[in-house]
Structure 1
């Protein structure tokens, strides 16, 4: 198994465990509520009578279902792309449970190769998934495709991890982080600024985060600088 395969197997194991053990919008995990910045950014398009949304790395619908609930009186849909079939199956179940199945379109794909089209979407969101493409070059290509797929006055809301560290909580040993693209925070910000040159910057923040995860039955402290970047196409 090569390095990328190992990372993806571990991420699959982690996410599927979370999806099985915690229900959407119930307290106890990061699934208990949508990302506030995502919802606030989406609401900036509240005047649009017809809206099309792309949620990259959608998972089970943490953000896409609340967005769809905000669209019940408007035309349009939420295209949800995720590499895990198990996540999309639960997304379909939750979308029925929350009465938005007619707004959700689930697509299984690696976002690194997913074709987004041109001038297709009013709102594109990508939370903690862009760093999971297979290379820095692929990240550049995906950012270019996101930019091209956004309509005029459309908004992109990205949250990307940078400077990720993993530390064995028993031995305090620094481990090799299981992440495909692990850039410095400065490098990530520069990449985003270059990709969105000419766009209107609505928000740019860096938030240090740390939380415990499980790797091979070991408690591991994961530390990262989460970069939030919200921009509007002019």
Structure 2
């Protein structure tokens, strides 16, 4: 993808999400933000069995679709905290507002950051979650670099939970006209799975799954339907490395 095409896709995604966050609230019916992703919460429960006080990193957290329920569960467990990062300032402010609204502000830290540029401290996190985030990096090489950086930031025995949209199709609802998908990293399901298997060689794979996604969006001048194959992948970092 060329620089101008990347910036066009980045701007389209920015405009769409800013409008969505203005019009819709998390954990309420009416959008894909109405509930957390089940696998994200299931991995958290698995983690809590061994780590009663985990530090969680939620990349591309938006206003807190996953981060707020995770913070609520950590509060219920009596310990732990979550760091939510997002490229959009509006998303970060909404996450702070929602943390206060749901009474978990002491569990949530919200940071504006570009995952491709951000530095993460080594062996800091027990659970790294990236849902709908990593398909917004600039290239396949950038994806692998980001994953390596996140792996270094993960403590031994920690988990990664990833969800990526692949094989994207966008059509105009009224006419069925196909549009070129406005997303930064356009990968097929097979490409994505191959890259993840490569990146997580030596880690214990906990989950491999996929499903169809269909969402009506208001991203362009007229309503469109977004379709994709969503790839879910989870893995655990080895507690020790044998050489």
Scaled by the length of structure 2, the TM-score of the pair is 0.92
Cα offset, 1:75, TM superposition: 3.8
Contact 2:15 2:219 (C-alpha < 8 Å) held by counterparts = no
The alignment of Structure 1 onto Structure 2 pairs a total of residues equal to: 234
Mapped to 1, the partners of 2:89 and 2:163 lie a distance apart of 23
Mapped to 2, the partners of 1:205 and 1:42 lie a distance apart of 17
The equivalent residue for 1:139 is 143
Which residue of 72, 79, 92 corresponds with 1:88? 92
Is 1:197 the counterpart of 2:198 in the alignment?
A: no
The equivalent residue for 1:30 is 32
Is 1:40 the counterpart of 2:39 in the alignment?
A: no
Cα offset, 1:117, TM superposition: 2.1
Mapped to 2, the partners of 1:108 and 1:166 lie a distance apart of 29
The equivalent residue for 2:241 is none
Give the 5 Å matches for 1:5-16: 5-16=7-18
Q: Can you list the C-alpha shifts for 1:57-115, whole angstroms capped at 9, x where unaligned?
A: 00001111111111124443211110010111111111011111111111101111111
Mapped to 1, the partners of 2:130 and 2:105 lie a distance apart of 21
Mapped to 2, the partners of 1:193 and 1:165 lie a distance apart of 24
Aligned-CA RMSD value: 1.4
Is 1:71 the counterpart of 2:74 in the alignment?
A: yes
Mapped to 2, the partners of 1:29 and 1:212 lie a distance apart of 9
Q: Can you list the C-alpha shifts for 1:114-171, whole angstroms capped at 9, x where unaligned?
A: 1122211100000011000122221111111111111111111100111111122333
Greater Cα offset, 104-113 or 207-216: 207-216
Scaled by the length of structure 1, the TM-score of the pair is 0.95
Cα offset, 1:3, TM superposition: 1.7
Structure 1 segments unaligned to the other structure (5+ residues): none
Mapped to 1, the partners of 2:203 and 2:92 lie a distance apart of 32
Give the 5 Å matches for 1:120-199: 120-199=124-203
Mapped to 1, the partners of 2:219 and 2:81 lie a distance apart of 37
Structure 2 segments unaligned to the other structure (5+ residues): 239-243
- Secondary structure (helix, strand or coil) at the match of 2:147 reads helix
Cα offset, 1:181, TM superposition: 0.7
Contact 1:147 1:195 (C-alpha < 8 Å) held by counterparts = no
The equivalent residue for 1:50 is 53
